[in-house]
Amino acid sequence: MIFDTLILAVQSQPQQGGGIGIGYFLLIGATMIVSLMVSGMLKSRFNQYSQVPLRMTGAQVAEVMLRQSGINDVQVIHVPGHLTDHYDPLRKTVNLSDKVYYENSVAAAAVAAHECGHALQHQQAYAWLTFRSKMVPAVQFASTIQQYLMFGAMVGAGMFHSPTMLWIWVAVFGVTTLFALVTLPVEFDASNRAMAWLERSGLANQMEHDKAKNALFWAAMTYVAGAVGAVAQMLYWIAMIMGRREE
């Protein structure tokens, strides 16, 4: 019922070149606005909680969490940029941005613990992380050819009235969409592991439990916004193709 309604909505949209309705551009705009709002909230919370002091720097939090978790083969290093923190499973490094690495604050501790959560997932062969890692080559390939396929799909649909290329583009776009969805349990689980360790270590009491939890929540929400946007776009394209078949 919902998908049938979406098809009707797409069919009623004024079509631009190649059959793209104005609704698609509205969808892209709405997705960008939501992503910017979530990103802005994350930066705001990070800046706010950066003012709440802690006796340990982000690097020290990461080192202690790894050691107490029995992980001795992962190195904590700093990387340039703002909120560029990530875990590299190939090099086995927890990469912390300069501010997180050197700063002793609630924000730095929360981010560092979250990245260590990914190291714990790697150590324990967490299924979703393993699956996401296996998807990386396919996602890299799909991301590279997406823009070219989209152009070919529009030409094929507009000049030859053939949906074949559109379906191929949707399939390729589906790979990156699936990756965005698989990322969600990985990120939320890492935040849960981080929060659990911060509570066990006693740092959560010192850094105020609610602030730590809120910082981790908004970090994960950036991935939610991306996944929702990707799913919405894919559903739009599928509805557009199905709508063409029913004309």
201 and 67 in contact (C-beta within 8 Å)?
no
Exactly one of 115, 187, 199, 247 is catalytic; name it.
115
d(CA 167, CA 174): 10
102 and 59 in contact (C-beta within 8 Å)?
yes
Burial (0-12, 13-18, 19+ Cβ within 10 Å), 81: exposed
Torsion, Cα 196 201 202 206, to 10 degrees, reads: -90
Is residue 125 helix, strand or coil?
coil
Q: Which residue has the tokens 């053939």?
A: 162
Question: Is residue 115 among the annotated active site residues?
Answer: yes
198 and 51 in contact (C-beta within 8 Å)?
no
23 and 237 in contact (C-beta within 8 Å)?
no
Q: Which distant-in-sequence residues (6+ apart) come within 8 Å of 188 by Cβ? A: 220
d(CA 170, CA 234): 7
Q: CA dist 144 to 10, 148, 170, Å?
A: 28, 8, 14
Give catalytic residue positions: 115
